[in-house]
């Protein structure tokens, strides 16, 4: 049973961008933060899917609001950021959007390269520009040893290593990683914990099981990352004491080669 104790005006908010299917990482992150007492603000492109996840959380006793929009649109992000203030104080923001373009390098189009860049790099920048000012409004007091709040980005194996057929995805994810490092160096001293999480392996969610069911079967028990287990690591990152912050964390199944 999720807890619900704060009034709307004093609620601690978690903004999760990149929420799709209920059996996905974005939804798992939303459930984990809601279980921890946060009011979760959910953003994704498909309004019906985002609302379905929010409704599921509310049915379990949590607080959740669907704020659909395109995270790569500066206008959408600015609108959503403006709406957040009426619900409480932003304490954690998670950028979980991605666009895994897959094609042999010489078959990629400029439009595909740009699409991957827009979702990951421009989207990450727009999200940070919307979230960081809200996080900085939180008091950075001794009784809040975790700092002013957290800004967490979802990365991938491609963030660290480019290989075919993922040239577009690797270039975009590497850019997002560099952006996270820049933000960490700029806003860490001001109390915002910026972290980048490298998901090094397949996530056992709707997307993978629909697109590559054979991979899920071949992976075997715990051969894929469980969304709930990933979400727990994000939760722990948010609660790290500011004297020992992690900027980058890599997660992979125990049998994954690296």
Res. 7: pLDDT tops 60: no
pLDDT tens for 163-180 read 999 999 999 999 999 999
pLDDT tens for 180-205 read 999 999 999 999 999 999 999 999 98
- 88-97: average pLDDT: 96
C-alpha span between 76 and 217 (Å, rounded): 39
3-state class (DSSP) for residue 152: strand
- 159-164: average pLDDT: 95
- The pTM of this model reads 0.92
Instruction: Identify the structural domains of the chain with CATH numbers, from first to last.
Output: 12-251 (3.40.50.720)
């Amino acid at each position: 049973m999720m807890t619900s104790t704060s009034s709307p005006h004093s609620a601690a908010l978690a903004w999760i961008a990149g929420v799709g299917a209920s059996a996905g990482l974005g939804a798992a992150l939303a459930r984990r933060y809601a279980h921890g007492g946060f009011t979760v603000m959910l953003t994704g492109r498909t309004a019906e899917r985002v609302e379905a996840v929010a409704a599921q959380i509310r049915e379990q006793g949590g607080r959740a609001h669907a704020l659909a929009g395109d995270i790569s649109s500066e206008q959408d992000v600015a609108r959503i950021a403006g709406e957040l203030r009426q619900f409480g104080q932003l304490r954690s923001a998670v950028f979980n959007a991605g666009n895994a373009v897959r094609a042999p390098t010489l078959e990629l189009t400029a439009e595909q390269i740009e699409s991957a860049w827009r979702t990951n790099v421009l989207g990450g920048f727009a999200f940070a520009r919307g979230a960081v000012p809200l996080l900085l409004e939180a008091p950075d007091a001794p009784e809040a040893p975790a700092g002013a709040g957290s800004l967490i980005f979802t990365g991938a194996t491609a963030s660290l290593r480019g290989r075919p057929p993922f040239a577009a995805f690797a270039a975009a994810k590497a850019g997002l990683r560099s952006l996270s490092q820049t933000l960490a160096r700029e806003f860490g001293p001001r109390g915002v914990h910026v972290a980048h999480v490298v998901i090094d392996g397949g996530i056992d969610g709707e997307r993978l099981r629909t697109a590559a069911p054979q991979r899920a079967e071949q992976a075997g028990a715990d051969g894929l990352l469980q969304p709930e287990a990933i979400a727990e690591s994000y939760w722990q990152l948010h609660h790290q004491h500011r004297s020992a912050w992690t900027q980058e964390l890599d997660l992979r199944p125990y049998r994954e080669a690296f």
